[in-house]
Amino acid sequence: MNLQRTLLIAALSAPLLALATGCSVARKQETVGEYIDGAAITTEVKAKLASDAETSALNIGVKTIDAGVVQLSGFAKSQREKTRAGELARSVKGVRTVHNDLIIRP
């Protein structure tokens, strides 16, 4: 009888432990709203890069992190293209900071 009780307690405790552990991890993740806002910012930055004659959207990766922090990665053909990509990203509503990690490769 004691073994059955121990197994029952273990079976009921496991989901609670998993839930508590999951909550502590989830606190550091984006909320659904932040994810959607980030996706909208990323999309708008990509659209501006694609429509601008001085930038190549195909060579520039855009990622929005931490609600308004945009990271540009990939390659630019010149310092001018790198600078312009940063300017375009900063011009999007909701962007707080731009990390321009583009590498110049002519």
Residue at token pair 């694609």: 50
- CA distance linking residue 55 with residue 49, whole number of Å: 6
pLDDT of residue 11: 55
Q: Model's pTM, two decimal places?
A: 0.70
Task: Return the H-helix or E-strand segment holding 37.
Answer: helix 32-51
- CA distance linking residue 34 with residue 83, whole number of Å: 27
pLDDT-derived band at 22 (thresholds 50, 70, 90) equals very low
- CA distance linking residue 75 with residue 101, whole number of Å: 9
Q: For residue 102, give every residue at least 6 positions away whose Cβ sits within 8 Å of its Cβ, in sequence order, or none.
A: 60, 72, 73, 74, 75, 76, 81, 82, 85
pLDDT digits (tens, 9 = 90+) for 95-106: 999 999 999 998
pLDDT-derived band at 24 (thresholds 50, 70, 90) equals very low
